[in-house]
Structure 1
Amino acid sequence: MSPNLNPLPHREGDAILIAAQSGRALAQAARRAGFRPFVLDLFGDEDTLALAESHRPLPGRFGAGARDQASVLAGLDALSKEAGSTLGVVLGSGFEAAPDLIVEIAGRHRLLGAGAETVAALKDPFGFAALCERLAIPHPAVSAGPVAERAAWLLKRAGGCGGSHIRASAAGTTPPGHYLQARMTGRAFALNFLSDGRRIETLALTEQWQAPSPLRPFRYAGALARGRDEAEPVPTAVAAEIAEAALRLARATGLTGLASADCLVDGERWWLLEINPRPGATLDVLDHRPTPLLIQHIEAALGRMPSIEAAPADATGAEICYAARTCAAVPPLDWPDHVRDRPRAGSHVARDAPFCTVTASGPDAAAVKQELRARAETVRALLEETENNHEFQHERAEPQRPGRAAGREPRR
């Protein structure tokens, strides 16, 4: 019998498995929900280790389109054995391009989230474009190339996340595992929602922004959810159309659990870029209602749509701090409480890779953005001062080449 049948009630103190490229946000959400997280991820950051009951390293490179199946399964099996019994496994980023692996995971552990068929339907770029066309959802054109007007297209990796994989189309052709998507104008937003496969409940329409670098012009930087009484950042009619599109796609694919719909909005026009069928980096921004969000994710994943409380009064945001230069060994730091994804002392962080994440809340979006920038500057100053005091040396970063990651990348 599949471990996904016959939903079981969850109780405080239950063990839960987490597998993600970066598992800190899910581990934090699990603790807030009263669960004991057993984490498999790439980084083993300082705060991840503090939150986790147990941690196993996930081999591989951040941003890679595929995961090593044997290592993932062995790591989850080992954590499950340590836990004794678990409620199930929640998958974060890093599995979008591996539906076959999700099938294997679901055969061994109770899957608390979107199934393999759903992920395959939503993350195959050509199948997704065809589905959007059938459902009359505005979506940029996609192509396998070659294309004549290269400047009108972006090169993306199938199953990629975080924006670091997106490039301008230099040749009008696509390497293996990539595709071309037409460039569109507009501001970036994400509709964050819960789905039980039949209905959706909207949590927030988050604003998103980028931190461009020479080789990663679309690199994800952060997100912000406005306060309860603030005006919506897009026209009401557009927000309603985006929600309706998410509902149609959820019904068409059987999507369950927490998900997000990435969009570009240009006045009254908008385009759906993709659906992320999993909890993402906005957990830090969204998990502020009285009921812990991971509990609501599990309820929706099991087909029982929870009731959603009113949005918090304050706005909340999170922003990634990128390393200005390669840090050969992170010095011991006295981290402020608002800093997340704290690299362990002695770890290596490459230039232009994410160093940590800062969070902030405030009365409105403008105040939060201002506080995020101030806190990011404080972290940079703290790093500089501590390095000088400890005489830590920097390495000269190797020149980055297109398509090659350098150390830690965005965790979205």
Structure 2
Amino acid sequence: MLDLFGDEDTLALAESHRTLPGRFGAGTRDRAGVLSALSALSQQAGGAEFGIVLGSGFEGAPDLIAEIGARHRLLGAAPETVAALNDPFRLAALCARLAIPHPAITAGPVADRDAWLVKRIGGCGGSHIRASATGSTPPGHYLQARMPGRAFALNFLSDGRRIEPLALTEQWQAPSPLRPFRYAGALARGRDEAEPIPPAIEARIAEAALRLARETGLTGLASADCLVEGERWWLLEINPRPGATLDVLDRRPTPLLLQHIEASLGRMPAIEASPTDATGAEICYAARTCPAMPPLDWPDHVHDRPRVGSPVARDAPLCTVTASGPEAVTVKEELRSRTAQVRTLLEETENSHEFQHERPEPQRPGGTAGREPRR
């Protein structure tokens, strides 16, 4: 396992782990560090390496993906697929040719600044999105027209020829003064609950995802992020890799990672029936700066647990909470409740006389800015 965090639950599950320096969401990756760490993990596996599954953070680095693919077997979207789908101008051109509704984009400048958003090319997690204050774009960014509607994502598996929809997840934001479009969480409804958008719209989104998958050769687990307003909808982007909704989607008998690998190898797996209950996951952002994480008695529904002694900055992600239940509305309420409980648990533990801040524990690489949304 190779990531920026080395969280407690990651270390407990991974046979081996390497931590990279840097900050998630920064848009760049330490090329030499990534390649050397992957080589070290491969050597440690003693030639038993099966392949590499890339998560978030590589969207803006197709050249690095190509280098990784030249040294290891990639289990997921090919470099050229990522390049085609994550270049906003190439994606817009594809959508225009395939008659897929997509917000207008431009490099700017624009006169009506309030009608546009500034996005970073290859950005993820929503933290990179800003209002178009000046009507122009800094290097590596573009402008996208503001559209109405609620945010949804169609999550699916693709073998490059077919797709198998897994779930339609509704998504929401946790705005902060500096990050007004920051990703907060996602929820998939239970098997017998009515979907929150018209079936005809969901079918059109699935058809659009299929056309784009065939056009680009997309394989593995992916998602189509959309805005839906009544009978209208717009495709915002395709995420060609496993993302933050993995906590929500991985609820069938067969592990979703195995199905991702099968689809990546061109063999579409059989998909079991949808789960009965609704399930959601929400990022718990830190209410204030924690210079050093105390030892917490984490509940089982908390994931991405920062290591003892690592710093977490105010408004940075502290952890992820999950919840399941028969109805989406009660799951959302439970997520809010559990998020508040985590913050209370942290505050009470910090105030306890049993915790000594001077304990010599390893700190998370990248300093207090190291924890960013992992979508």
TM-score scaled by length of structure 2: 0.95
Q: CA 1:390/1:156 → structure 2, altered by over 3 Å: closer, same or farther?
A: farther
The separation in 1 between residues aligned to 2:20 and 2:215, in whole angstroms, is 33
The separation in 1 between residues aligned to 2:31 and 2:309, in whole angstroms, is 29
Alignment of 1:52 with 2:14, yes or no, is yes
User: Among 102, 108, 111, which residue is 1:148 paired with?
Assistant: 111
User: Among 70, 83, 92, which residue is 2:32 paired with?
Assistant: 70
The separation in 2 between residues aligned to 1:174 and 1:392, in whole angstroms, is 47
Map residues 81-96 of structure 1 onto 2, 5 A cutoff: 81-84=43-46, 85-96=48-59
The separation in 1 between residues aligned to 2:5 and 2:61, in whole angstroms, is 20
CA contact (8 A) 1:330 1:343 kept: yes
Alignment of 1:288 with 2:245, yes or no, is no
CA contact (8 A) 1:224 1:317 kept: yes
Ranges in structure 2 where 5+ consecutive residues have no aligned partner: 358-367
CA contact (8 A) 2:4 2:370 kept: no
The separation in 2 between residues aligned to 1:385 and 1:245, in whole angstroms, is 49
CA contact (8 A) 1:327 1:393 kept: no
Partner of 2:270: 307
Alignment of 1:128 with 2:91, yes or no, is yes
Q: CA 1:247/1:374 → structure 2, altered by over 3 Å: closer, same or farther?
A: same
Map residues 136-215 of structure 1 onto 2, 5 A cutoff: 136-215=99-178
Alignment of 1:385 with 2:342, yes or no, is no
Partner of 2:279: 316
- CA offsets, 1:219-241, max 9 Å, x none? 00000000000001100110000
Read off the aligned partner of 1:267 and give its amino acid letter. Answer: G
Read off the aligned partner of 1:178 and give its amino acid letter. Answer: H
Read off the aligned partner of 2:16 and give its amino acid letter. Answer: S
State the Cα distance separating 1:391 from its structure 2 match: 7.8
| Total equivalences in the alignment | 364
- CA offsets, 1:11-58, max 9 Å, x none? xxxxxxxxxxxxxxxxxxxxxxxxxxxx11001011111111011011
User: Among 332, 357, 367, which residue is 1:369 paired with?
Assistant: 332
CA contact (8 A) 1:155 1:179 kept: yes
State the Cα distance separating 1:218 from its structure 2 match: 0.4
Partner of 1:226: 189
CA contact (8 A) 1:328 1:393 kept: no
Read off the aligned partner of 2:339 and give its amino acid letter. Answer: A
State the Cα distance separating 1:112 from its structure 2 match: 0.2
Ranges in structure 1 where 5+ consecutive residues have no aligned partner: 1-38, 395-404
CA contact (8 A) 1:192 1:259 kept: yes
The separation in 2 between residues aligned to 1:176 and 1:213, in whole angstroms, is 24
Read off the aligned partner of 2:54 and give its amino acid letter. Answer: L
State the Cα distance separating 1:66 from its structure 2 match: 1.8
CA contact (8 A) 2:173 2:182 kept: yes
Read off the aligned partner of 2:352 and give its amino acid letter. Answer: N
Map residues 9-48 of structure 1 onto 2, 5 A cutoff: 39-48=1-10
Read off the aligned partner of 1:342 and give its amino acid letter. Answer: R
| Secondary structure of residue in 1 paired with 2:352 | helix
CA contact (8 A) 1:329 1:392 kept: no
Q: Which contiguous aligned blocks of 4+ residues in structure 1 show a shift greater than 4 angstroms? A: 391-394
State the Cα distance separating 1:307 from its structure 2 match: 1.1
Superposed CA RMSD in Å reads: 1.2
The separation in 2 between residues aligned to 1:202 and 1:300, in whole angstroms, is 12
- CA offsets, 1:167-195, max 9 Å, x none? 00111111111100000010000000000
State the Cα distance separating 1:393 from its structure 2 match: 9.7
Alignment of 1:356 with 2:323, yes or no, is no
State the Cα distance separating 1:409 from its structure 2 match: 1.3
Alignment of 1:271 with 2:234, yes or no, is yes
The separation in 2 between residues aligned to 1:379 and 1:64, in whole angstroms, is 27
State the Cα distance separating 1:290 from its structure 2 match: 1.0
CA contact (8 A) 1:42 1:60 kept: yes
| Secondary structure of residue in 1 paired with 2:53 | strand
CA contact (8 A) 2:5 2:370 kept: no
Partner of 2:212: 249
TM-score scaled by length of structure 1: 0.87
CA contact (8 A) 2:23 2:372 kept: no
The separation in 2 between residues aligned to 1:376 and 1:259, in whole angstroms, is 27
| Secondary structure of residue in 2 paired with 1:122 | helix
State the Cα distance separating 1:406 from its structure 2 match: 3.8
State the Cα distance separating 1:407 from its structure 2 match: 3.8
CA contact (8 A) 1:193 1:203 kept: yes
User: Among 290, 298, 306, which residue is 1:343 paired with?
Assistant: 306
The separation in 2 between residues aligned to 1:249 and 1:407, in whole angstroms, is 34
CA contact (8 A) 2:22 2:370 kept: no
